[in-house]
Each structure stands twice: as C-alpha cells, then as structure tokens.
Amino acid sequence: MMVNMAATQFGQPTTRIQVDNGMEFQTSLQSFYEARGILLQTSCTDTPQQNGVVERKHRHRLETSRALMFRANLPLAFWGESVLTATYLINRLPSTVLDNRTPYELLLGRPPTYGHLRVFSCLAYGKDTHKSLSKFSERGHPSIFVGYPSQHKGYRLWDLAARKFYVSRDVVFIKHVFPFHAGETTAPSSILVFPRLVPPPPFDNPDLTATAERHEFDSDDEGASDSSEMPDDPPLRVQLPQKPLLPSPRFDAVTRCSLCLVILLCMTRTCLLPTYLIP
C-alpha cells in the first residue's frame, strides 16, 4: 500500500527497501518485490545500529505516545490511537535537522496549520446527527478525544457510554478534564465558576453611632408576679449623636423659597366648578 501511495500521491517510485532481519518482510513479500523490481536489503543479526535512523524515530514516537497516555491515564487498549496521534504531531513539529522546518512542509511544500489541534484524551462532546432523535433528545454525548482521522476532516472520539469510536466535525472540548483520571470526572472550578455571594460591609459612620442602654430588671416590681415567667424585654434607650445634622445654608435657602412659593399658590388659587355642576 505504501509503495502504491508514494507513486500515486508524490510521483516517487520505490526502488529499495531496508528492513531488519525479521522474516515477515522477506518470505511473504518476496514475490511482491520481484514483480516490481524493488531491491530488498536487511541488516545483520542483532545489529540495530545499521538501522539507526529508523530506531531513533521509533523511540521518539514511543516516548511521545507514552507521554500522551500517562498525562491522561489512558488504558493500554488505546495504545494505537496514542501512537497515531504522536506521529501526527511529530510530522508537524519543527526539527533542527531539517533547518527548523517540519516533515509536513518538506513533503507537501507548504507549512502546516495548528489551529485545529486539541488536547489529546480530554473530555469532548460530539454532535449526534442520528435521524431518529426527537426534539428533546440530547445532542452531545460525553466522549474522549483520541485523534485525527486521515480520511475525514473532523475529530475521532470514543463514546464513553456506547463504548465505540465515531468521527464528528462539531465538537465541544473541555481541555482541563480527563475522564480516566481518578477524581477528575467533573469539571473543575476554573471551567464552571459560580458567583460567590459576599455580604456587604457593616455600616460604620461615627456621626450616626448609637448606644443602647438597658434598664436593670427589678424582681420586686409590680409587673413581676411570678418569678418563673420571663418578663418582656425592657425598652431600648438610644443616645443620639451630640453633633446635630443641619443642612447647608444654600440647601436651607432653596427649601425656604420653595415652601413660600407653594403657600402663595395655595392661597391665591380659586376653585372653579364646571358649568354642569352649578345649580
């Protein structure tokens, strides 16, 4: 498949294949190599250094995929999706060996885009476009994001309830939540922030402070007929501030003029009855 894709997509024929000393690439594919004129080269036994480039790239992919799985605490069953996502990301990362260019740019001749990248294995809600849904059915299912499909322009998700893979274009990602992490099945406070009700500060004005004094209750008063019954609370005596609160002179003058004007209008106003009420 890779031989045909290289010839069709990039116009580059495959002339030589170099593999390790594994028999799976020799006996079963020997007729395939002979039919297409491909030269097969193998390394010596127990000498992986002869395939140094392949071994280093293989280690790089495994280290990246392990980091993705450890971060999200994914089960081992998702190792395939983790390796594919790691390869997808490595092909879009600049490399000093390639003069700070990416393998994607060298192969296709244009720089890659990064706006579609999302956090691997985070909580996601993909849109359900099933025809049998009612108007009040849920449109999104809790899932985890597991990769980028090569044949679709969308995202590959794993449905947590139905336990199956599906591809969706319209997805809502919760990048801080990883469902397989212990204790992180719900959204943290940084995602769902509820307003906190804070009581207002106490009113503190030295000019309006009041002190309350209670009268001492005398058990010999006439109102105390029974010692077992609790009397009513005595009244509170409020001490007003010593400094009187007087309005400003300007405010006082305006108020006096307004009151005088109202009194004059009331004195000079005559009450006229309608003609149909006059006897």
pLDDT, residue 274, reads 52
Listed residues 168, 198, 215: the one ending a domain:
215
The terminus-to-terminus CA distance of the chain in angstroms comes to 115
Q: For residue 170, is it within any domain? A: yes
In a domain, 180, yes or no: yes
Same domain membership, residue 146 and residue 89: no
SS3 at position 237:
strand
Residues 109 and 88 in one domain: yes
pLDDT digits (tens, 9 = 90+) for 172-189: 999 989 998 864 444 333
Cα dist from 261 to 254, 257, 258, 267, whole Å? 11, 6, 5, 10
pLDDT digits (tens, 9 = 90+) for 135-149: 777 778 899 999 999
Q: Which domain holds residue 5?
A: 1-46
**Gap between the Cα atoms of 145 and 125, Å rounded:** 9
pLDDT band at 130 (very low <50, low <70, confident <90, very high): confident
Closest CA to 236 of 218, 213, 254: 213
Q: Please indicate, yes or no, whether residues 33 and 60 belong to a single structural domain of this protein.
A: no
* Residue 51 host element (H or E): none
Q: Please tell me whether residues 137 and 211 are part of one structural domain.
A: yes
Render 52-85 in DSSP notation, one character per residue.
HHHHHHHHHHHHHHHHHHHHHT--GGGHHHHHHH
Q: Are residues 146 and 163 in the same domain?
A: yes
Q: Is 226 domain-assigned?
A: no
Tokens of 242: 């010593």
Which pLDDT score, from 0 to 100, does residue 49 have?
83
In a domain, 258, yes or no: no
Nearest partner of 68 among 160, 148, 172, 165, judged by Cα: 148
Measured between alpha carbons, how far is 73 from 137 in angstroms, rounded to an integer? 31
The answer to whether residue 266 is domain-embedded is no
Q: Three-state DSSP class for 126?
A: strand
Residue 187 vs residues 24, 163, 174, 232: alpha-carbon distances, Å: 48, 21, 8, 54
The total domain count for the chain is 3
Q: Can you tell me the distance from the alpha carbon of 122 to that of 125, in angstroms, rounded to the nearest whole number?
A: 10
pLDDT 10s digits, 23-75:
777 777 888 888 888 888 888 888 888 888 888 999 999 999 999 999 888 99
% of residues, the chain, pLDDT over 70: 64
- The answer to whether residue 251 sits within a structural domain is no
Chain Cα centroid distance, residue 174 = 4
Question: Does residue 210 share a domain with residue 137?
Answer: yes
For 227-244, write each residue's pLDDT tens digit. 445 555 555 454 545 544
> And the tokens for 131?
């025809």
Looking at residue 18, the DSSP 8-state letter turns out to be E
Residue 252 placed within a domain: no
Residue with structure tokens 């809600």?
125
Helices and strands in the chain: count of H runs, count of E runs = 6, 9
